């Protein structure tokens, strides 16, 4: 898809596959624009064809036409910015992928919290002249490190949210699990629900939601009696990897809540190492590798490279 930014406006060259489509079809069926945002675009005449305001349901586009959308209108910052060292993996006018450190919450749980990744990204937006509130597409647990995807405007978050529902955004994790995991490759399909004896913990429960985790053993450490796993989630339940591995008798190293042990700052050995998705506007496949910090006692650059095997 041929696209570019022009100030507050986003320009798209109509591709051949959209020949004869109405503007309304592009907005509703191709880009899944929410009704509230559709209303704003219409009311403010923020969508044009060849620089002309047109009737959305009557006007059909032709290959090579220019579609303009006012996507980059300045928006108020809705969270408190807090300076943080932000490790940017990928960035363009629409998206930002950040490598989250372990020990940091993704977003505030109370208005008084200002030390989360969202607050740090808000400060990054301020420093770089991005007049918007960062919107996270998915989350990671506080003690899980790795790639998190953010949207920079309302249409991007809507489109990416739809992709998340369709499971076309792929997240690949690396983890150290206690013991020698066998078989070396498999699928764990156990429903996950709330643990009624604990305010935060989850558990395998017949009354829980369907959950599916794919895993593969990458290597085994005799010294630590632990397996390095590559994991892919087919579903995205809270604590899914932690619950599934614990249920199989191989909890994450350092994950005390689910039976793990370890000396590494008591943090679970789980890292979101690879994020793969189709860019909502350019339709390019974007692959983002999240490397651990230098000197990490859990994961190394070599471990990340193993994902390409």
Task: Please check whether residue 266 lies inside any domain of the structure.
Answer: no
Active site residue 154: no
182-207 average pLDDT score: 96
Tell me the pLDDT of the chain averaged across its residues.
Answer: 93
Write out the two tokens for 164: 């998340």
Task: Please check whether residue 158 lies inside any domain of the structure.
Answer: no
Assign 125 to helix, strand or coil: helix
Task: Please check whether residue 114 lies inside any domain of the structure.
Answer: no
Can you give the pLDDT at residue 262?
73
Write out pLDDT tens, residues 105-119.
999 988 889 999 999
Q: Element (H or E) spanning 288, and its range?
A: strand 285-289
Task: Please check whether residue 137 lies inside any domain of the structure.
Answer: no
Q: How far apart are CA 232 and CA 172, in angstroms?
A: 5
Q: Element (H or E) spanning 219, and its range?
A: strand 212-221
Q: Which residue range forms the structural domain that includes residue 35?
A: 3-69
Task: Please check whether residue 47 lies inside any domain of the structure.
Answer: yes
Task: Please check whether residue 149 lies inside any domain of the structure.
Answer: no
Length of the chain: 309
Q: Which of 93, 141, 154, 255 is catalytic?
A: 141
Can you give the pLDDT at residue 308?
66
- Token pair 């899944």: residue: 32
Q: Which residues share a beta bridge with 135?
A: 151
Assign 157 to helix, strand or coil: helix
Q: Which residues share a beta bridge with 252?
A: 177
Write out pLDDT tens, residues 173-185.
999 999 999 999 9
User: Per the structure, how many domains does the chain have?
Assistant: 1
Question: Are 280 and 295 in contact, with CB atoms under 8 Å apart?
Answer: no
223-235 average pLDDT score: 93
Q: Using the predicted structure, report yes or no on whether residue 125 has a pLDDT greater than 70.
A: yes
pLDDT band for position 297 (cuts 50, 70, 90): confident
Q: Using the predicted structure, report yes or no on whether residue 303 has a pLDDT greater than 90.
A: no
Q: What is the CATH classification number for the domain harbouring 11?
A: 3.10.290.10
Can you give the pLDDT at residue 295?
67
Q: For 160, what's the count of Cα atoms within 13 Å in the CB-facing half-sphere?
A: 25
Task: Please check whether residue 10 lies inside any domain of the structure.
Answer: yes
Q: Using the predicted structure, report yes or no on whether residue 46 has a pLDDT greater than 80.
A: yes
Write out pLDDT tens, residues 49-67.
999 999 999 999 999 999 9
Q: Using the predicted structure, report yes or no on whether residue 263 has a pLDDT greater than 70.
A: no
Task: Please check whether residue 96 lies inside any domain of the structure.
Answer: no
Is pTM, for the whole model, over 0.75? yes
């Amino acid at each position: 898809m041929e696209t570019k930014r022009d100030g507050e406006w986003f320009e798209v060259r109509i591709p051949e596959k959209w020949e004869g489509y109405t503007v309304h079809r592009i907005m509703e069926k191709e880009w899944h624009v929410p009704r509230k945002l559709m209303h704003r675009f219409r009311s403010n005449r923020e969508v044009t064809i060849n620089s002309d305001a047109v009737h959305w349901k009557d006007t059909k586009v032709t290959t090579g036409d220019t579609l303009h959308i006012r996507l980059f209108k300045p928006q108020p910052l809705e969270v408190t910015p807090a300076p943080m060292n932000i490790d940017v993996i990928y960035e363009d006018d629409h998206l930002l992928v950040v490598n989250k450190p372990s020990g940091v919450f993704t977003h505030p749980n109370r208005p008084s919290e200002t030390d989360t990744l969202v607050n740090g990204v808000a400060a990054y937006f301020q420093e770089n002249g991005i007049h918007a509130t960062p919107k996270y597409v998915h989350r990671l647990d506080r003690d899980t490190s790795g790639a998190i995807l953010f949207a920079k405007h309302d249409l991007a978050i809507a489109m990416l949210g739809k992709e998340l529902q369709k499971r076309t955004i792929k997240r690949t994790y690396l983890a150290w699990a206690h013991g020698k995991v066998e078989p070396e490759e498999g699928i764990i399909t156990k429903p996950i629900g709330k643990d009624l004896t604990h305010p935060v913990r989850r558990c395998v429960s017949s009354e829980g939601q369907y959950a599916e985790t794919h895993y593969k053993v990458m290597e085994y450490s005799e010294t630590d009696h632990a397996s390095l796993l590559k994991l892919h989630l087919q579903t995205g339940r809270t604590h899914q990897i932690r619950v599934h591995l614990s249920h199989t008798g191989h909890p994450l190293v350092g994950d005390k809540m689910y039976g793990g042990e370890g000396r590494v700052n008591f943090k679970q050995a789980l890292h979101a190492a690879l994020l793969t998705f189709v860019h909502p506007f350019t339709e390019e496949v974007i692959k983002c590798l999240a490397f651990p910090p230098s000197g990490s006692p859990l994961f190394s650059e070599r471990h990340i490279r193993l994902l390409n095997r």
